[in-house]
Amino acid sequence: MTRIQILDPICVSKIAAGEVIERPASVVKELIENAIDASATEIRLTFKNGGKDLIEVKDNGKGIPPEDLPLAIKRHATSKISSEQDLDAISTMGFRGEALYSVASVSRFSITSRTANNELASCVTVDGDVDKVQISEEVMATPGTLVRVRDLFFNFIVRRKFLKKASVEEAHIYDVIAQYAIGHPQISFAFFADGELEFQTVKSPDHLSAIKETLGKELVKSLLDVGMIQQGEILIHGYLSKPGHHKRNRKYQYFFLNGRRIFSEILQSALEEGYGPYLMKREFPVAFLFLELDPKYFDVNIHPQKREVLFYDEKDLMTAVCSTVTHCLKTQDFVPRLKSRVMEEKQTKLEIGEVKAVTTSSTSRDIGHFDKKHQISLHPNIKSSELPLSFESADSQLVEVHIEEREIRDFFGSDLKFRGSLGDEFLLLEDLSNHDLIILDFHAAHERINLEKFTALFKAKKVKSQTFLRPFRLFCTPEQRMRIMDSLSHLNNLGFDFRIPKGTKREVEVFAIPKILAKTDLKKFLESLLDTLPKMVIEDQYHEILSLIACHASYRAGEILSFQQTKDLLHELVNIQNPKICAHGRPTYIRIPYQDFLKQVRRI
């Protein structure tokens, strides 16, 4: 049996560093927090190779006195607390005194700092061993602190080999800087990666400027101002997404507690409960909520990276956030204004060029063709009053529609008679063989049809693309840009043409889309696509994006279908392989037996 022994100091330092420093973004987080605690108003961040080769953070804060600088890299050395009692009222971003020690233990590290009272700065250099420190005094520098971290994990090979490629690490760094820029708008942030400016924020009294600069102006347009709400001991302000502008995941939910971003299932639940009926299934609201609370009511000392917080009264917190969200939604006017049709067309029209096929080598039959012997027949004795239909020309009048009268069996069971619509989503059909009522979700049905059509075209390599005369430009974050670049071959096979324009890393250009999407809301679709791409990690995982295309190309709830559209929808539905569920697994229709009606009214 191995004897118990005390580990050597170098091993201890690496273990401690491993708890705090996971990747370059972890270093950035710790250094930004130090700059904020030093009352900096300007923070400049520079990186090379995703932070693996160089991380440089410069601020104009208070600086560190020369006599204290060597202590700054010692473990559990800090100026932010001095006793156990201080842990009950932590008001700074950091407090443990582990950050610089951990970073210096796994990198070639230097820190140069100057206070306003000193004419010259001091510098401390460490080469992976915090017990071997080189001190340089009387160095020329401006007031503030400059930290350089080179060759991260050079002496911790196990950790370094698990770092991702530079674009992935850069995307993580971007997210960290963005969250501090949003949470501290009074500070100007400048972010440079491999010599290029990624973004720069300006000092502002509100958070919207930073949100716009880091996450895009389109996101800002979709936000509601919560105002300033006092709920007991909690002060809440921030921004929420308008109904209809939600996301497919919780990535855009930002919660800040006294300036620190935290991750809390309690706050997530309170936010979504507050939205109530304004939130559809599988939708997640965008939120930037800033909570201010006396430190004595929570404990931040429960997570190595201070990401999670323990609240002493979770019920009051949840009630406060939930009621704030509900109040905001009920009191604000987020109903869209009706625009003139001409103006709307001018704003949304895309300039479309030629239609081209990605590849055309196939002998398979046209997926859009359906043999008459597979068609169902709608009952011919339909009165116009039974059809809430919209006709666009004389050719589509009901009296001129010719329907086959012979009985053709289908998966519904027999001939069907159209009885009308229910709400904005359903068509009502009667099975004439037994009078059963069939309630058809026309969006789900059309989605299934489009999924099988487009999948067949994709497998046959016959996907056609719609090209634009001018590319469609879309804002994206570095993470989204990286996902697009990683998925280019997948996207090209599906009929897209994405390109990264020169001179900017904040936008992508779309030169072509699948022809099936030509009439859809392109901006909304592309935003959903960017949220979907991270899940496409292997060659076989096309299904989710195929489902997304099918969904956006389908009839939407609230559309009024003409008689011919209804007839064509049913004809196509009976000829596909899996007509009973949509692309996301929901049923396309339900059958309510006529015998059940009779039992309910006690006819039998």
Residues 322 and 398 in one domain: no
Q: Count how many Cα atoms sit within 13 Å of the Cα of residue 259 in the half-sphere of its side chain.
A: 17
The whole-number pLDDT of residue 149 equals 97
Q: Are 120 and 69 in contact (CB under 8 A)?
A: no
Q: With cut-offs at 50, 70 and 90, classify the pLDDT of residue 387.
A: very low
CATH of the domain at 43: 3.30.565.10
One domain, residues 76 and 181: yes
Comparing 6-15, 81-90, 305-314, 334-343, which segment has the lowest mean pLDDT?
Answer: 334-343
Q: Do 101 and 184 belong to one domain? A: yes
284: in domain: yes
Q: Please name the amino acid found at residue 32.
A: I
Q: Which residue has the tokens 């009973």?
A: 580
- Say if residue 516 is in the same domain as residue 567: no
pLDDT higher than threshold 70 for residue 280: yes
Q: Please determine, for residue 592, whether its predicted confidence score (pLDDT) is greater than 90.
A: no
Answer yes or no: is pLDDT of 435 > 50: yes
**pLDDT of the residue at 86:** 64
Task: Considering only residues 466 and 307, tell me which one the structure prediction assigns the higher pLDDT.
Answer: 466
pLDDT in tens, 207-217: 999 999 999 88
8-state DSSP, 595: H
Residues 515, 410 share a domain: no
250 and 228 together in one domain: yes
For residue 94 the two structure tokens come to 């950091």
Mean pLDDT of the region 183-209: 94
- pTM for the predicted model, two decimal places: 0.69
Q: Confirm whether 105 is domain-assigned.
A: yes
Domain-embedded: residue 83: yes
Same domain as 199, residue 173: yes
Q: Is the pLDDT of residue 415 over 90?
A: no
Of the ranges 253-262, 296-305, 484-493, 563-572, which is most confident?
253-262
Q: What is the pLDDT of residue 323?
A: 94
Over residues 85-104, mean pLDDT = 77
Give all strands of the β-sheet with 436-441 in edge-to-edge order: 416-422, 426-431, 436-441, 589-592
Residue 295: pLDDT above 50? Answer: yes
Find the CATH number of the domain harbouring 477: 3.30.1370.100
55 with 170, same domain? Answer: yes
Residue 216 lies in a domain: no
Any idea which residue has 């003409």 for tokens?
562
Query: How much is the pLDDT for 420?
Result: 83
Best CA proximity match to 332, nearest among 399, 402, 241: 241
Is residue 455 in a domain? no
What are the helix (H) ranges across 237-356? 265-275, 314-331, 341-348
Tell me how many helices (H) and strands (E) the chain has.
17, 23
pLDDT for residue 333: 64
Cα separation, 111 vs 575, in Å, equals 70
- How many domains in the chain? 4
Whether residue 348 lies inside any domain: the answer is no
Q: Both ends of the chain: CA-CA distance in Å? A: 80
Does residue 358 surpass a pLDDT of 60? no
Same domain flag for 191 and 133: yes
Q: Which of 505, 498, 512, 517 is nearest to 475 (CA)?
A: 505
344 lies in some domain = no
CA separation for the pair 525, 502 (Å, rounded): 24
Among 21-35, 63-77, 338-352, 396-410, whose mean pLDDT is lowest?
396-410
Note whether 418 and 387 are within 8 A (CB). yes
Residues 185 and 270 in one domain: no
DSSP state of 378: B
What's the order of all strands across the beta sheet hosting 260-262? 223-231, 234-241, 287-292, 253-257, 260-262
Reduced to 3 states (helix: H, G, I; strand: E, B; else coil), residue 418 is strand
Compute the average pLDDT of residues 590-604. Answer: 82
Across 185-189, 402-406, 546-550, least confident range:
402-406
pLDDT surpasses 50 at 540? no
Domain boundary among 145, 173, 208: 208
As a whole number, mean pLDDT of residues 119-138 equals 90
Q: State residue 344's pLDDT score.
A: 42
Task: Give the pLDDT confidence of 132-176 residue by residue, as tens digits.
Answer: 889 888 889 999 999 999 999 999 888 898 899 998 999 999 999
The arithmetic mean of pLDDT across residues 573-579, rounded, is 82
* pLDDT at residue 104, as a whole number: 92
- Whether the pLDDT of residue 536 is over 70: the answer is no
Beta strands (DSSP E) in 294-449 are 298-299, 310-311, 352-357, 416-422, 426-431, 436-441
Q: What is the pLDDT of residue 537?
A: 42
pLDDT classification of 340: cutoffs 50, 70, 90: very low
Phi-psi domain of 282 (left: phi exceeds 0; alpha: psi -120 through 50; beta: other): left
Residue that the structure tokens 């096929």 belong to:
357
In this prediction, residue 36 has a pLDDT band, given cuts at 50, 70 and 90, of very high
Classify burial at 368, counting beta carbons within 10 Å of its beta carbon; exposed 0-12, middle 13-18, buried 19 or more: exposed
Residue 318: predicted pLDDT: 93
Q: What is the pLDDT of residue 371?
A: 39
Check pLDDT > 80 for residue 602.
no
Average confidence (pLDDT) over 360-375: 35
Residue 36 lies in a domain: yes
Q: CB neighbours of 357 closer than 8 A, spacing ≥ 6?
A: 462, 463, 464, 465
Q: Is the pLDDT of residue 361 over 50?
A: no
Task: Provide the b/e sequence for 333-365 (b: ≥16 CB within 10 Å).
Answer: ebeeeeeeeeeeeeeeeeeeeeeeebeeeeeee
- pLDDT score of 9 more than 70: yes
pLDDT above 50 (res 438)? yes
Q: Are residues 44 and 193 in the same domain?
A: yes
Q: Rounded to whole angstroms, how far apart are CA atoms 113 and 59?
A: 10
Please give the mean pLDDT across all residues of the chain: 80
Do 321 and 252 share a structural domain? yes
Please state which of the ranges 116-120, 184-188, 483-487 shows the lowest mean pLDDT. 483-487
Domain CATH code at residue 298: 3.30.230.10
322-331 pLDDT, tens per residue? 999 999 988 8
Measured torsion, CA atoms of residues 179, 185, 187, 189, in degrees rounded to the nearest 10: 50
* Phi and psi, residue 179, nearest 5°: -70, -35
Q: Print the domain residue range for 525.
A: 461-552
